[in-house]
Amino acid sequence: MSRLVVVSNRMPLGDKPSGGLVVALKDTMEERGGLWVGITREDASFTGAEMPRSQGLENHPGGPFERKSCSIEASLYDDYYLGYANSVLWPLCHGRTDLLDLRLSFREAYLEVNRQLADALARELRPDDVVWVHDYHLFPLADALRRKGVFNPIGFFLHIPFPSSANVGALSNAGELAEWLSSYDLVGLQTNRDVASCLEVFRTLKESEFLMDGSVRYRDRTVDLKSFPIGIEASAFQKIAQNAEPLPRAAHGPQKLIIGAERLDYSKGLPHRFKAFGHLLETREELRGEVSFVQIASPTREDVQAYREIREQLEQLSGSVNGRFSDINYTPIQYINRMIDRNRLAGLYRHAQVGLVTPLADGMNLVAKEYVAAQDPSDPGVLVLSNFAGAAEQLGDHALTANPYDAAQMADCISQALSMERAERIERHSAMLENVLNEDVDWWASSFLRHLEDKSMGTDFLSLL
Ligand code: F6P
């Protein structure tokens, strides 16, 4: 039996903050076993004597699967993670070319970290391992591994949106993105829209050939591009929410509760959402004192300037809406700038009449799926979902779809959600729940790995093993 080797920047170590990728892969690894390789930032106090750099992977014992990490010197790590990954690739993939911070040192660090990881990984891999690389931090990893003579099947999954070819043109080395991807056997993307963008980017490379089965041939390699929408561990989350304590009315004051929960990221459209909620209270006086909005926005990547700015903007906006519409017993926006426990979150979802998931750009957005799974099917809440979330491809027909850029339209949507009849809520919710339960995280991982396996059977490198 082949061993599954998952590789990602972040991995579950101690109580470090996680996110969609870590939660989904943890479920996958607990189910299947295997090895998870991540990257850690070398501690400043590290002397280098205990474990020389790029000498291999550090073992983290415990748990149902193996965990190893590749330690990267702190300033190199910062240029790779805060620099190229989160000040170039993240804004690029989320359509924010205005935020690109193109520095040669960032790109060099990014390539160097991928090379160091490939080096350590190449020594760790066994001939029959199947490698599954995750996310934008590691676009060049397969290329670096192939250069070291690794012939194993290597799949890649991008958790965030694939950038448009026009935006990719803003990179200093625009062609390299598709070149890196061509070293994988299978590239998985969240949505069909992402697959279309990725094909577009391959079209900009003269040597690309588009095959009848949808795959792309570039130089001597063929890569399959396909969408695999990521899911959640739906039935487990459903149970957590069912068992959650009911919220005391005093906890949220008025009768109706709207919930939003994400990392405090500029891609999530939080200022737009706060403005739309302000517009709602402004234009519908009868809702003042009757509906409150809890927004959990957990801190993230605070060393990047754009994240510090969005935080200030939200503090200012929540203050201004609250200043305007608060009363002695009423705080319209409860803005929580902390991470909160998943069990508590499940309870909040269950008891909120409206779930607001209105990003400006988002790979999938698992909060949308968690909100659906958490509802009581006999009296469910309403999901208000932006078309710019990947989840809209699966849930968009049954959620209320909102345009995050249009405050008045979003306010209408929230108001429609607050007054929706139970029968309609049940009908919409049951269709979404069916999708969330069927296309769960296990379905996602199995479909991807099955496809990678099928693809690998037809290629030459298996005969070399
Ligand atoms: O969306 C991509 C992603 O990797 C998610 O898994 C997660 O929500 C987030 O980014 C985590 O970011 P970071 O590892 O930078 O904290």
Average the pLDDT over 245-272 and give the result: 85
Of 21, 88, 296, 362, the residue with max ligand 1 atoms within 8 A of its CB, to mutate for a pocket test, comes to 21
The reported pLDDT for the residue numbered 463 is: 33
DSSP element (H, E) containing 76: helix 74-78
Residue 328 CA to ligand 1 centre (angstroms): 38
Residue 217 CA to ligand 1 centre (angstroms): 30
β-bridge pairing 216-218 and 208-210:
antiparallel
- Please tell me the least confidently modeled range out of 301-310, 407-416, 451-460: 451-460
Q: Which value does ipTM take for this structure?
A: 0.96
Residue-wise pLDDT for 145-201, tens only, equals 999 999 999 999 999 999 999 999 999 999 999 999 999 999 999 999 999 999 999
- Asked whether residue 352 carries a pLDDT value surpassing 70, the answer given is yes
**With the C-alpha atoms ordered 358, 304, 18, 156, is the resulting torsion angle positive or negative?**
positive
Pick the catalytic residue from 94, 134, 137, 159: 159
User: Considering only CA atoms, which residue is closest to atom 7 of ligand 1?
Assistant: 19
- Express as a percent the part of the chain with pLDDT over 70: 94
User: Considering only CA atoms, which residue is closest to atom 14 of ligand 1?
Assistant: 10
Q: How confident is the model at residue 255 (pLDDT cuts 50, 70, 90)?
A: confident
The reported pLDDT for the residue numbered 457 is: 73
Whether 362 is catalytic is yes
Burial 121-140 (b: 16+ CB within 10 A, else e): bbeebeeebbbbbbbbbbbb
- Please tell me the least confidently modeled range out of 7-21, 178-192, 270-284, 373-387: 7-21
- What's the rounded Cα separation, in Å, for the pair 288 and 332? 8
Give ∠ CA 459-461-465 in degrees, rounded to 5: 135
- Asked whether residue 37 carries a pLDDT value surpassing 80, the answer given is yes
Can you spell out the DSSP letters for 29-72?
Answer: HHHH--EEEEEEEPPTT--SSSS-TTS--EE---SSSEEEEEEE
User: Considering only CA atoms, which residue is closest to atom 10 of ligand 1?
Assistant: 19
- At residue 108, what is the residue type? E
CB under 8 Å to 181, separation ≥6 — which residues?
139, 156, 187, 198, 202, 223
- Express as a percent the part of the chain with pLDDT over 90: 87
* Cα separations in angstroms, 194 against 269, 278, 364, 396, 426: 20, 33, 11, 16, 31
- Asked whether residue 460 carries a pLDDT value surpassing 80, the answer given is no
Residue 82 CA to ligand 1 centre (angstroms): 12
The reported pLDDT for the residue numbered 1 is: 75
Average pLDDT, the chain: 93
The reported pLDDT for the residue numbered 245 is: 80
Q: Which atom of ligand 1 is nearest to the CA of 10?
A: 14
- Asked whether residue 265 carries a pLDDT value surpassing 80, the answer given is yes
Average the pLDDT over 364-374 and give the result: 98
The reported pLDDT for the residue numbered 19 is: 83
Ligand 1 interacting residues, C-beta cut-off 6 A: 10, 17, 19-21, 135, 159-160, 263, 300-301, 363
- Asked whether residue 464 carries a pLDDT value surpassing 50, the answer given is no
- Asked whether residue 131 carries a pLDDT value surpassing 60, the answer given is yes
DSSP state of 362: B
Give ∠ CA 296-136-440 in degrees, rounded to 5: 60
- Please tell me the least confidently modeled range out of 239-243, 248-252, 336-340: 248-252
Q: What is the CA radius of gyration of the chain?
A: 23
Average the pLDDT over 21-42 and give the result: 94
- Alpha helix segments (H runs only) across 212-331: 234-242, 249-252, 270-283, 305-325
Residue 39 CA to ligand 1 centre (angstroms): 14
* Cα separations in angstroms, 198 against 162, 163, 192, 227, 228: 6, 8, 10, 11, 14
Average the pLDDT over 53-76 and give the result: 90
The reported pLDDT for the residue numbered 459 is: 43
Average the pLDDT over 195-212 and give the result: 95
**What are 239's two structure tokens?**
């149970």
